[in-house]
Structure 1
Amino acid sequence: MPKPGEHKTVQARILAYAEAIGWTFVSREEAERRRGFDPVVPTADRAKNRSLFFDDLLDAKVREFNPRYAEAAGALLGQFRHLHANIFGNREFVEHLRNRGKFFDHEERRERDLILIDYDDPERQPKARRNVYEVTEEWAFHNGHYGTREDVVFLINGIPVLVIECKNAGKDEAIALGVDQIRRYHRETPELFVSQQLFTATDAIGFSYGVTWNTVRRNIFNWKDEEVGKLESKVMSFCAIGQVLAFLKDYIVFAEKDEELNKYILRQHQTGAVEATVSRALDSRRSRGLVWHTQGSGKTFTMIKAAERLFRAPEADKPTVLLMIDRNELEDQMLKNLAALGLGNLEHAGSITRLNKLLRDDYRGIIVTMIHKFRDMPANINTRSNIYVLIDEAHRTTGGDLGNFLMAGLPNASYIGFTGTPVDKTAYGRGTFKTFGCEDDKGYLHKYSIADSIGDGTTLPLYYSLAESELLVPHETLDKEFLSLAEAEGVADIAELNKILERAVNLKNFLKGTDRIQKVAQFVARHYRENVEPLGYKAFLVGVDREACALYKHALDQFLPAEYSEVVYTGNNNDSALLKEFHLDPKRERQIRKSFGKLDQQPKILIVTEKLLTGFDAPVLYALYLDKPMRDHTLLQAIARVNRPFENEQAEMVKPHGFVLDFVGIFEKLEKALAFDSEEINAIIKDLKLLKVLFKNKMEQQAPEYLALIERNFDDKDVDALIEHFRDPQRRKAFFKEFKEIEMLYEIISPDAFLRPFIEDYGTLAAIYNVVRKAYTRRIQVDRDFQKKTRELVQKHVGTGYIQPVIDVIEINENTARYIAENKGGDGNKIINLVKSIEKKAEEESDDPYLIAMAQRAQAVQESFEDRQTSTADALDTLLREVEANEARKREQAEKGFDGLTYFVYRTLLDAGITNAEEVSRKVKHAFVEFPNWRKSENALRELRKKVTFAVYANSDDLERVTALVDQLFTLLEKADRI
């Protein structure tokens, strides 16, 4: 029985669920008519240069919403078509969707907002709705070079805003393949994504979503719903009209990072916190709240969006919103991101005097400032109640006198604290709860824990390992001068930590001992070269103070090239000659930060002590070499630098976790160093030994099932057995997943003596994977290549004849059948080799449509074979008949003197019953000769299609059949371009 296709299993269901929640279904034919498609024109031509909107509806809505807009939709559509087909054009379109586009009112001689969407709509009665919500399928577009057909598209007032790519759950890596298609659409038909803002990919089980112009894996998320794994509930919650409007209006953000424009979508925990913050701030009965979101979960964007929502809320009645941060670099970034929102009322209070003046003068708008600007502020400087204070890093910024000045100066304001670290068990922690969480039973308004974050993939797990015992600080010294000090408990920032360490004389002397510095540097260099660099990632070395950083730089340069590392710290005029050696001007420091974030640029290691340990975000950072005593908030913030997810599509890298190598001995006393609830500690960081245990368990429990398949040291019978065993796609998928988990563990642990007993079995397991992957992988590969250390291991085995090659490329000619019959090996292996060989032939002669079509048929045979819909003997017989038919075709083609294109046209026309097929095919060939640049020129392609269509139509009165034939030809040629 044939398996259900994508449309039956997923696409049709999505359309039905969308209708159930208020979207009106528009058939493909109706949608094409409304886009101006001409039904008598070939399909690809119909899709070419047609409107990307429902023009009539958009025109009607623009007139309805903007009665003074004289130009109406004609001028508007012209304006939209001139937007750049890139992220910048998309950002402009978002402004229009948010009703911030402008038009000139000639009667009143002033600018007005151009309304495209009524955002009050969902709260009205259905009959009073002004927006039109529609959903359609098979949304086709051709830009003259490439054609795209999107599965499901949602439109508001005739504007496409959301696309869903559907995949069959039976396919390997179905959602990853769906996302890969979205990426291809961006490359080939970027015009589609000027207006489209959101995308999802689903296989009826998973439901991944993101924003257009950002298809990096770490920015694609799984939509969470109460009914886990149920497509209906996910579609009905994600595609709910109110939810889509909220995404468009509020929760898509553009921001610059490293001078590049990026687009983001706020995730569910962020939008939940924004809604909770706004609700609490506008609540007349309560005025405090604590948002506890773990480090790396997007807290800055959450604060920015909450501030914007409060500023724009009518109920707030022209409020003052204070955004209070604790770091200069974050202050600058916050101002840039707020400015990008198009807010007119935005002020930077860069001094105490400026802040006092703004508050005294009753300024209405958003003020960005730092907590220390409240020092000595007069009491009751502003007593309004619609002042909303959003405080970053609230666990430390409002401690002591600063908090007292702030709350005395603004006695009736609402205060929402944001913290990225768990609230600890010390007085500091209780103070944070008492200050901000006093009006909530649980002590917080909204929580997104470390465990939540790791579970969602927002951040990665952290693992640590201890350095050699001789390098660790003696227990008595560490305990006496640091861990047992009462003033060190709950230490909230690094400046405070540094004051404590200044008094730890013996501790610092030990850490900066000349011999020890040399040994640690050598250890770091070796570990980085052997364990981190092969994975492709970068590292921090954290010294106890600035002098230690300078000493480490000199020592590291003896073991690594000088360009591998840079020192980043704040310089002072009265510094020693050693410290001045590494002073950086702001421009150079910015360049180092930017280069460090790039995989292919130096430096690979940053040596730091205070700077960059809070707020710095570099996903390529994997390892942190810790040589500075830290605890509580400071420790958590430092190690959180390495917990950011990272993916590189080209290098097929997916960062597994963050890693900390402890040279101090802090993690030997983890419960004391992190004075948080035990549940939080367990989620924060785990001993690397656990990964060794996991690797050992997998090699002893999962691997034997696969290793038992190899009985004859990978001879041809073993290969045949592997191909037959993994013929089932689900069995294959399970093995690929298991191996990838084992491989990543090996990459992280290696080199290590612990691995010695497992090397032979692991090499065999990798070889099995190599055979199965080569046999069954498709053209689109999803994270299936070997990692570096495993690749070296496998190459070593292959070099000694460890594995017989699974792919034997066969020449496709008159001798193929005889070669197959005489060749040793099972029929399963022969099927795989025949399919691969036919594909290779089509790739080499990509201008021959017959071979392209033959390769497609061969792929279908393999799919049927894998799904056990076709027996092994029948599949092999079908493929051999294809080869025989191709030989007959070549003989007839030679007799007639045709090339591949001309013969394919001739055979197609003949099979379709077109008269004078030979003469017509020659005319078609001449048309292709006349327009050699048809693949690159839109005009040439248009003229070529016309000539081909007319040449065929002259010998047939059935326009529909002619159109289908021409479509078939150009579809195959388009696929040839992608082979």
Structure 2
Amino acid sequence: MPTPSEHKTVQSRILAYAGAIGWAVVPREEAEKRRAGFPTRHSLHQCNGGQECPPSVSPNSPLSLFFDDLLDAKVREFNPRYSEAEGALLGQFRHFHADIYGNREFVEHLRNRGKFFDHEEKRERDLILIDYDNPERNVYEVTEEWAYHNGHYGTREDIVFLVNGIPVLVIECKNASKDEAIALGIDQIRRYHRETPKLFVSQQLFTATDAIGFSYGATWNIVRRNIFEWKDGAPGHLETKVKSFCAIPQVLAFLKEYIVFAEKDEELNKYILRQHQTGAVDATVRRALDPERSRGLIWHTQGSGKTFTMIKAAELLFRAPGADKPTILLMIDRNELEDQMLKNLAALGLGNLEHATSITRLNKLLRDDYRGIIVTMIHKFRDMPAGINTRPNIYVLIDEAHRTTGGDLGNYLMAGLPNASYIGFTGTPVDKTLYGKGTFKTFGCEDDKGYLHKYSIADSIEDGTTLPLYYQLAPNDLLVPHETLEKEFLSLAEAEGVADIEELNRILDRAVNLKNFLKGRERIKFVAQFVAGHYLTNVEPLGYKAFLVGVDREACALYKQALDQFLPSDYSRVVYTGNNNDSVLLKKFHLDQNQERQIRKSFGKLGEQPKILIVTEKLLTGFDAPLLYAMYLDKPMRDHTLLQAIARVNRPYENEAQEMVKPHGFVLDFVGIFDKLERALAFDSKEINAVVKDIKLLKSLFRNKMETIAPEYLGLVGQNFNDRDIDNLIEHFRDPERRKALFREYKEIEMLYEIISPDEFLRPFIDSYTTLSAIYDVVRKAYTKRIQVDREFQRKTSRLVQEHIGSYGIAEVQQVVAIDSNTIAVINARSGGKTTKVINLIKSIEKIAEDESDDPFLIAMAERAQAVKESFESRQTTTAEALEKLMQEIETDEARKKEQAERGFDGLTFFVYRTLLDEKIEHAEEVSRQIREAFVEFPNWKKSDREMRELRKKVTFAIYAQSDDLDRVTGIVDNLFRLLEKANRI
């Protein structure tokens, strides 16, 4: 049975679903006519002595990235005073930079913040492109096969959605039967960005789907950690996902509200708010405007984008008609967040924005009834007069509400603004000790389950927003004695539910015996030696960085001195707040603001020093460094402070160039806190189970998989990987479902190995694991094409395989042979079965097509070889039949070389000639020479839009003179240029 095509299984269905929710489906041919540009928009133009020129080769059709007529008409409808000439706006758009900055500029226009000059009134006006207030006035269209060529590269997007003639959303469709289908789709989106960036000046969103998964993201941000799965319905419910994600109100909301640009480390980034973020924003605005309720608690776990959620909620609330010129206080708890918060708010284009830098300034703004957004900190409310502003449309959004509103400061705040609405945001759940009081009572009192909106740790890990955490206890002789830890920390009532690290420090200051043990000079030396060894063996080989958390500032200084005995001094730096009265030892590691800023920046960069930061308070909250992988914990913590601290290591990280994908975060506990996990983290058990796991559990899981799953695969190799073994493996895994099962199981086992290694526990499994890795390597090389989002091996496994693979004497799966007159003889003479020969021939044809990519014959042959491969894998073709077809391809290619030489044709002319013969076009030789002359006439067709258009026109009419079937001719020309463009791209 033939496999379903990409178009039938996905593309056509999406078009149908889009049509059902209000998008007008525009056939490809009609779309191409409408992209022809202003000179030909009403009729076909004349060319070649009065003959009508086919619309598919209209000179302007490759240029336009819009439906020009519709865009111009809607601009004039929405802007009655707009009087520029036709095409003026499109010309302006074409001058936007083809990068993220041009994309940001286009977003501003899509949000109606562009400008045009009103010549009658001699002033600027806002340029309206989309009517968000009356969405029925807009035109919503969808089309397929959206082709574009920039003179160097050609791109054809599967499905494009347009609003008022402007492409805003692209969907890349893949067949679910292909391995890594969505990954391939996303890889194509990446290629489009590299090769035809002009497409993504106006396009804001992309999705990739295989009818089972539905991944989405924002253009110009195509790293894996920022590509998400749309959650609406079970996997495979394509109709549900399309009708929710592509719903007209949803697309308009994305365009108008939920795409955010922000600078980080002087680099512009683009983000799309995810479903949990938009849900919280909507809930916040609704609650704030609810006349009956004025409290709400939002728990979005650490690292899930809480800051952007708050900023967007503040913006929408400020602009909400029902808010009636409100005052919005954005309250944060750290100085370093203020500047970033202000920059991000300013980027939204908000004019009414104030920074309350002092208590006096905050009091004045509230007393003067300021309307707008105020960024401030909770301590600025100290001693604030009661009732300083009693207006009800004051909305207070409070970051880290579990600690910022405790005690007197919260009382001052709520007494000063008695009628305000308060929405608390927290990155940690409410712990068991606080239900019915504190944060829960203050903010969660008006919701049945305590939360206005919730995005839990488990949700975050499932979505890939954050990574799972694993812990390991240090050797017993380095752990704090249990009695001391229990008496001076765990059993103290005042240590329960502590949310503020300064309060934690005060508790620890009274734990004299505990601190003396932790800072014992001999112990510090042994811990430093252990940390150095563990980092060099376990962490540095992966490319990641680490925190060493000391009990106080003195401990940090002592650890720095000790660590320098075992590691180069530039490996580590100390970061803490210095005081004028500090000892000589503490002052030795004081930093000024510039030094600290540079250390933070360098720590976040791959390959730069320092690799280890020694901290005790600073950086344990709010510091995001995705390269941070390991935390060496030597400070007693619990509940909120512990959760916040270990969350530093759970940020996803990937680096395509280095093939790094961070699998998890790791905590090595030198205190013994995790030995009493249920007391250290007094939250609901289902939350704790998602937070952090003992590495012992992973060892049990690894053992189970190696003893129950691995033997099935290991049994497939009986001759130490000789030719017969290789052939058997390739034949066995010919079934795509078997391959998927192997890849899935192996990647789980590999991940476990990477987490556990190095560890003596693994010694009995090394041989079997290496053999399993070799089996995976053979099958992967035989059947998959490497793509950016797929990794061969993780780093530790890669080293292991490199060290041991030679001992197996594995026959090379990809024994590439030269494609020439000797190929068939070489293949027949080689050892190995027919299955391996099929794979090697396919790989060889693919390689020569890449190496000699200017030869369209080889590109076409590689496509036919791929078709043979797909037929072979689906068992529509036997091994012998597949081998015979590939041999025929080799013979045909040799025959064409001879005929080409005999006729004296160059490669291009002969390729055109053979194409025309195959299509039964009369006078093929004469027509091919005419086409060759056209290519000579336009030598820069690969780089020039104008020459490309003229060349296509001449090629089309050379063929059209021998056939009056325009559709057929257009198809021949499209396929001809597709192969030529593909050859150029490779």
Structure 1 residue 622 displacement after superposition = 1.2
| AA of the residue aligned to 1:103 | F
- Match of residue 10 from structure 2: 10
Structure 1 residue 935 displacement after superposition = 3.6
- Match of residue 981 from structure 2: 974
Q: Indicate which of 131, 135, 140 corresponds to 1:118.
A: 131
**SS at 1:152 equivalent:** strand
Query: Is residue 31 from structure 1 mapped to residue 48 from structure 2 by the alignment?
Result: no
Distance 1:493 1:154 in 2: 49
Distance 1:41 1:513 in 2: 86
**SS at 2:719 equivalent:** coil
Distance 1:67 1:955 in 2: 50
Q: Indicate which of 802, 826, 838 corresponds to 1:819.
A: 826
Structure 1 residue 923 displacement after superposition = 6.0
**SS at 1:99 equivalent:** coil
- Match of residue 47 from structure 2: none
Deviations 1:292-312 (A, max 9, x none): 111111111111111111100
Is 605-614 or 643-652 further displaced after alignment? Answer: 643-652
Distance 1:810 1:435 in 2: 73
**SS at 2:668 equivalent:** strand
| AA of the residue aligned to 1:87 | I
Which residues in structure 2 correspond to 1:350-361 (within 5 Å)?
350-361=357-368
Distance 1:44 1:748 in 2: 57
Structure 1 residue 703 displacement after superposition = 0.9
- Match of residue 49 from structure 2: none
Conserved? CA contact 2:35–2:64, under 8 Å:
yes
Query: Is residue 88 from structure 1 mapped to residue 88 from structure 2 by the alignment?
Result: no
**SS at 1:598 equivalent:** coil
Distance 2:402 2:941 in 1: 64
| AA of the residue aligned to 1:60 | A
Distance 2:523 2:676 in 1: 22
Query: Is residue 374 from structure 1 mapped to residue 375 from structure 2 by the alignment?
Result: no
Change (3 A) 1:77 1:587: same
Conserved? CA contact 1:522–1:559, under 8 Å:
yes
Q: Indicate which of 377, 394, 397 corresponds to 1:390.
A: 397
**SS at 2:206 equivalent:** strand
Query: Is residue 492 from structure 1 mapped to residue 505 from structure 2 by the alignment?
Result: no
**SS at 2:437 equivalent:** helix
| AA of the residue aligned to 1:70 | S
Which residues in structure 2 correspond to 1:18-167 (within 5 Å)?
18-36=18-36, 40=53, 49-71=62-84, 74-121=87-134, 129-167=136-174
- Match of residue 553 from structure 2: 546
**SS at 2:432 equivalent:** coil
TM-score normalized by the length of structure 1: 0.96
Is 597-606 or 357-366 further displaced after alignment? Answer: 597-606
Distance 1:111 1:285 in 2: 43
| AA of the residue aligned to 2:732 | H
Q: Indicate which of 650, 668, 680 corresponds to 1:673.
A: 680
Is 133-142 or 926-935 further displaced after alignment? Answer: 926-935
Structure 1 residue 226 displacement after superposition = 3.8
- Match of residue 852 from structure 1: 859
Query: Is residue 520 from structure 1 mapped to residue 533 from structure 2 by the alignment?
Result: no
Distance 2:880 2:834 in 1: 7
- Match of residue 745 from structure 1: 752
- Match of residue 620 from structure 1: 627
Change (3 A) 1:822 1:109: closer
Distance 1:820 1:226 in 2: 50
TM-score normalized by the length of structure 2: 0.95
Distance 1:665 1:477 in 2: 11
- Match of residue 682 from structure 1: 689
- Match of residue 352 from structure 2: 345
| Structure 1 alignment gaps of length 5 or more | 123-128
| AA of the residue aligned to 1:6 | E
Deviations 1:391-443 (A, max 9, x none): 11111111111111111111111111111111112258721111111111112
Q: Indicate which of 876, 886, 892 corresponds to 2:893.
A: 886
| AA of the residue aligned to 1:436 | F
Query: Is residue 908 from structure 1 mapped to residue 915 from structure 2 by the alignment?
Result: yes
Query: Is residue 176 from structure 1 mapped to residue 176 from structure 2 by the alignment?
Result: no
| AA of the residue aligned to 2:517 | F
Distance 2:971 2:455 in 1: 55
| AA of the residue aligned to 2:300 | H
Deviations 1:690-743 (A, max 9, x none): 111111111112111111111111111111110111111121122112111111
Change (3 A) 1:453 1:960: closer
Change (3 A) 1:365 1:34: same
Percent same amino acid at aligned positions? 80
Which residues in structure 2 correspond to 1:194-273 (within 5 Å)?
194-273=201-280
| AA of the residue aligned to 1:145 | H
Structure 1 residue 176 displacement after superposition = 0.9
Which residues in structure 2 correspond to 1:456-467 (within 5 Å)?
456-467=463-474
Structure 1 residue 607 displacement after superposition = 1.5
**SS at 1:426 equivalent:** helix
Conserved? CA contact 2:299–2:456, under 8 Å:
yes
Query: Is residue 555 from structure 1 mapped to residue 568 from structure 2 by the alignment?
Result: no
Distance 1:906 1:744 in 2: 53
| AA of the residue aligned to 2:25 | F
- Match of residue 435 from structure 1: 442
- Match of residue 709 from structure 1: 716
Deviations 1:437-468 (A, max 9, x none): 11111122111111111122211111100111
**SS at 1:712 equivalent:** coil
- Match of residue 328 from structure 2: 321
Is 795-804 or 443-452 further displaced after alignment? Answer: 795-804
Q: Indicate which of 735, 758, 761 corresponds to 1:754.
A: 761
Deviations 1:921-973 (A, max 9, x none): 55655665676654445455556556656766777777766654444333222
Conserved? CA contact 1:317–1:386, under 8 Å:
yes
Distance 2:965 2:244 in 1: 47
Is 681-690 or 892-901 further displaced after alignment? Answer: 892-901
Distance 2:240 2:476 in 1: 54
Conserved? CA contact 2:32–2:55, under 8 Å:
no
Is 247-256 or 904-913 further displaced after alignment? Answer: 904-913
Structure 1 residue 10 displacement after superposition = 0.7
**SS at 2:522 equivalent:** helix
Structure 1 residue 164 displacement after superposition = 0.9
- Match of residue 303 from structure 2: 296
Is 867-876 or 673-682 further displaced after alignment? Answer: 673-682
**SS at 1:170 equivalent:** coil
- Match of residue 125 from structure 1: none
Structure 1 residue 907 displacement after superposition = 2.5
Conserved? CA contact 1:854–1:882, under 8 Å:
yes
Distance 1:48 1:779 in 2: 35
Which residues in structure 2 correspond to 1:467-478 (within 5 Å)?
467-478=474-485
Conserved? CA contact 1:42–1:967, under 8 Å:
no
Distance 1:716 1:819 in 2: 16
Conserved? CA contact 1:429–1:490, under 8 Å:
no
Conserved? CA contact 2:32–2:56, under 8 Å:
no
Distance 1:824 1:957 in 2: 53
**SS at 1:737 equivalent:** helix
- Match of residue 315 from structure 2: 308
Distance 1:186 1:567 in 2: 41
Which residues in structure 2 correspond to 1:688-707 (within 5 Å)?
688-707=695-714
| AA of the residue aligned to 1:21 | I
Conserved? CA contact 2:293–2:446, under 8 Å:
yes
Deviations 1:747-772 (A, max 9, x none): 12111110011111111101111111
Q: How many residues align?
A: 973
Conserved? CA contact 1:371–1:402, under 8 Å:
yes
Query: Is residue 192 from structure 1 mapped to residue 199 from structure 2 by the alignment?
Result: yes
Conserved? CA contact 1:462–1:659, under 8 Å:
yes
Q: Indicate which of 699, 710, 733 corresponds to 1:726.
A: 733
**SS at 1:800 equivalent:** helix
| AA of the residue aligned to 2:27 | S
C-alpha RMSD of matched pairs (Å): 2.2
Query: Is residue 660 from structure 1 mapped to residue 667 from structure 2 by the alignment?
Result: yes
Conserved? CA contact 2:144–2:160, under 8 Å:
yes
